[in-house]
Structure formats: structure tokens, C-alpha cells
Amino acid sequence: MRIGLLDVWTTVNQWIYDLWMSVMQWDWLNDHLRSLLNTLYYTPMGEFLRTSTWAWPVFESLHFMGMSLLAGTIVMFDLRLLGFARAVPVPAMHRLIPFGIFGFLLNMSTGICFICATPDQYLFNAAFRWKVIFITIAGLNVMFFYTRVFRRLESFAAEHHAPPIGARLVGGVSLAAWVGVMSAGRLLTFFRP
């Protein structure tokens, strides 16, 4: 029997699902998470998003703007790390990152508001699990970048130099992780429990 890509996908997804469910059924975490979600559910923000007609669409639009900020800063920086647009000096382009952090914080806050409004829709959602995993990969990648690659940034800052393998790796992983975050985010509605 041939093993296709779909089998690999199904197996990995099942494995992540099992892992997530074992975490979800972990009593200590469950008790804390449940009390937290109960608190969040009854926050004025959760209530506001559930009852207001326009709050949800407006927050969604803000979430897409945060995404565009992330894409305009982190993704464009990733492309530079991969060796694209080599005329752009890397240390100067690094000034984009605070704007990316702003986009990320905007999306964390609007995202938390969505979870406050309907926590069960996200916690038992396969797409949400993937999204959390991709965000974690992106976060670990950022840590790797600042501990191992950032200090040597000047060495390939000169115009038209090929970026070292470490920079390419960080750029590639980050780009893939953020495209994964966007895709999983868009899939949330299809996996609502």
C-alpha cells in the first residue's frame, strides 16, 4: 500500500488532536482553564462582543489589519533574510519589527476578545490547535533568531551578499509559520464544534 501525503496529514492531525485532548483532560489545567474561561466569558468585553451587532465584524477587521501589519513587517523581513531584495540593508530594515510587534499585540488582544466571547468555539477546535502550534513555532523561531543569528546580522548587511544559512533558515521557518497561522485562522469557522 502506498502512503500518500493525505495519510501523513491525517496521522499528524490525529496525533496533535490526541495530544491536545490529553492536555484538555488534564484535571489541574482544566480546573484553572475552566475557571479562567468562566471569568472571561462573563467579562464586559465578552458580553459586549456577544450582544453588539457590529462589534464582532469591527474586531474581525482590526484582526485583519493586525495581520497585514505582521505581513508587512515580519514577513517582508523574512523575505529579506531569505535573500530577497538584497539592496535593503538588514539592520535598518530591523526598525520594522516594532510595527510588527504592535500588529501582533493588536491581534493578541482582539483574539483574546473573540475567545472571551465564545471560549468553547476555540478550545475544542482543531484549526485553533494548529494556530496555537504555528504561533508557538514562530515564537521559538524569534527566540532562536535573537540568541543565535541577530548578532551576526552586520556580517551580511552589506549590499548583495548572500545571507548565511542560519538567517535563511530563520526566515523560511518564520514565513512558513505565519502563513500557517493565517491559514489555520481562516479555517477556524470550518472546525467549529
Residue 99: HSE in the Cβ half-sphere, 13 Å Cα cutoff:
16
Cell of 187: 479555517
Minimum separation from the CB atom of position 74 to another protein (A)? 9
Out of 16, 33, 37, 79, point to the residue binding another protein (CB under 8 A). Answer: 79
The interface with another protein within residues 47-66 (CB under 8 A) comprises 57-58, 60-61, 64-65
88 vs 138: CA distance, rounded Å:
23
Stretch that binds another protein, among 21-29, 32-40, 163-171, 175-183 (CB under 8 A): 175-183
Is 141:170 a contact under the CB 8 Å cutoff?
yes
- Rule CB under 8 A: is residue 73 a binding residue for another protein? yes
- Rule CB under 8 A: is residue 185 a binding residue for another protein? yes
Count of residues touching another protein (by CB under 8 A): 35
Phi, psi of 124 (to 5 degrees): -110, 35
- Rule CB under 8 A: is residue 183 a binding residue for another protein? yes
C-alpha dist (Å) from residue 89 to 40, 119, 145, 162? 44, 43, 17, 12
28 vs 48: CA distance, rounded Å:
30
Catalog residues that contact another protein under the rule CB under 8 A: 57-58, 60-61, 64-65, 67-73, 75-76, 79, 84-85, 87-89, 91-93, 95-96, 99, 178-179, 182-183, 185-187, 190
